[in-house]
Amino acid sequence: MLVKIYKQLLQRYGEQNWWPTKTKSRFEICIGAILTQNTSWKNVEKAIENLIEADVIDPKKIASMPIRRLERLIRPSGFFKQKAKRLNVFSRFLLSYGSVDDFAKNVSREELLEVNGIGKETADSILLYACNRPCFVVDAYTRRLFSDLGIIKGKEKYDEIKEMCENKLPNDVNLYKEFHALIVEHMKRMKKKMI
């Protein structure tokens, strides 16, 4: 059933080639995953643009930057005080691996979930898009679509939905990326039709 839905969405919308980035860096993907918590991607893009203009899309720069400056740069993303602290903590955590590449190769989901401000959806987004690991992301759009289609009842926990998807889909990083992006695209379009 899930593979059929994936193929239908792919046929309807084409490849999405996600995660949307400006610099194509793994660290920018991590930043985006943290900044998108409780806000729209449009606001995240504004915050990331500020970080790019300030030339600070770098874990060392974020980790050593005064929090107040970081708050100003990411203000468009909302909850900027909380998110600035999270970005600082996450950057220091990432640097404990030595480099972004070493982080991407070696970090575990459990370790990510221990970082202040990193929940399951954010951890899975980082693992899938920045670390290129087969880790299905369950967001509000996924829950809504699967509930509307009767695949879930709507009361399932995050990990139950994630496990179901990973058990019923091929273990394929690119498929997971595309499926998640296609679900987001589909649900955004359906929302616009309802307005």
Question: What is the average per-residue pLDDT within 111-120?
Answer: 97
Question: What is the average per-residue pLDDT within 73-101?
Answer: 97
Cβ contact 54:73 at 8 Å: yes
How would you classify residue 123: left for phi > 0, otherwise alpha for psi between -120 and 50, otherwise beta?
A: alpha
pLDDT of res. 17: 87
pLDDT of res. 194: 59
The residue type of 114 is: E
Confidence band, pLDDT 50/70/90 cuts, at residue 24: confident
Q: Domain map of the chain by residue range?
A: 2-17+136-194, 26-130
Question: What is the average per-residue pLDDT within 85-109?
Answer: 98
- Report the predicted TM-score, pTM, of the whole model to 2 decimal places: 0.94
- CA distances (Å), origin 52, targets 41, 73, 138: 16, 10, 28
Cβ contact 96:107 at 8 Å: no
CATH 1.10.760.10 fits 26-130, yes or no: no
Closest CA to 93 of 107, 79, 109: 107
Q: Is the pLDDT of residue 195 over 60?
A: no
